[in-house]
Chain A
């Protein structure tokens, strides 16, 4: 049963990823991304990361992809990209070769490690097999061991909001002071 879930979710993930890379229309790419994100959420649940699956769907599929679609529609870039043209010569074969090489490297690393995945001391309090739901363990760990990083990420979010508002603002048209005064006098009379 778990294998069936894994295979279905893996098909969703890989199919969505190929859709993002291969479809010429950016809106189709965004929808393929949603498929991938849902597949990842299913895989999270299969690995007992229920809270993360929910957060993934809410934040990634529900907010980030919607933001992408907003920007696509706002900027009008949903015109279909011409996938035939290759700007840099030989870019596509080189990218494919690099991709295969990187994949080979990662696969070799995964298999070379074998069973030796232990790196350092295991956590005592943050175990998943204790019988507690994963969200309890996650909350315990987050607010005790990682509370500093937690506060920093909240600071990061505030900075990101300020930066986004500032960057996306329409530039205000500058007027010289003399023109301003003349306009004001005109309006008064």
Chain B
């Protein structure tokens, strides 16, 4: 069962769209802050996949350069975000995303 069609860039873009949607719905539905963070990483990976698909389709390395920078920024963001989560959990052990309303009032 060898399919004769080769994957076009559109296939990769559609896969990235589905991955992005799953990540987006995950951020909206889950309440554990770490799992929400992981769903954000899913969305970032979907964007990276789109960029690489376009780099291949347009024959331009700029897409891959963008993915490079996105990876760096994502790593920095995860470090800082997890530090914030640690700081929050020190005050309120067992906090979920609904409990973090300290700016209120």
Interface SS of A by simple majority: helix
**Do the beta carbons of B75 and A59 come within 8 Å of each other?**
yes
Q: Which residues of B contact A118 (CB under 8 A)?
A: 58
Instruction: Give Cα A72–Cα B15 distance, bound, in whole angstroms.
Output: 29
| A178 contacts B by Cβ under 8 Å | no
Instruction: Give Cα A87–Cα B31 distance, bound, in whole angstroms.
Output: 9
Interface size on A, residues (CB 8 A): 87
Q: Which residues of B contact A168 (CB under 8 A)?
A: 82-83, 86-87
**Do the beta carbons of B52 and A49 come within 8 Å of each other?**
yes
Chain B positions within 8 Å of A, measured between CB atoms, are 2-3, 5-7, 10-15, 17-26, 28-32, 34-35, 37-39, 41-42, 45, 48-49, 52-62, 64-65, 67-69, 71-80, 82-87, 89-90, 93-94, 98
Chain A positions within 8 Å of B, measured between CB atoms, are 1-4, 6, 10, 13-14, 17-18, 20-21, 26, 29-30, 33, 36-37, 40, 43-44, 46-49, 51-52, 55-56, 59-60, 63-64, 67-68, 71-72, 74-77, 81, 87, 91-92, 94-96, 98-100, 102-103, 106-107, 110-111, 117-118, 122-123, 126-129, 134, 137-138, 141-142, 145-146, 149, 153, 156-157, 159-161, 163-168, 170-171
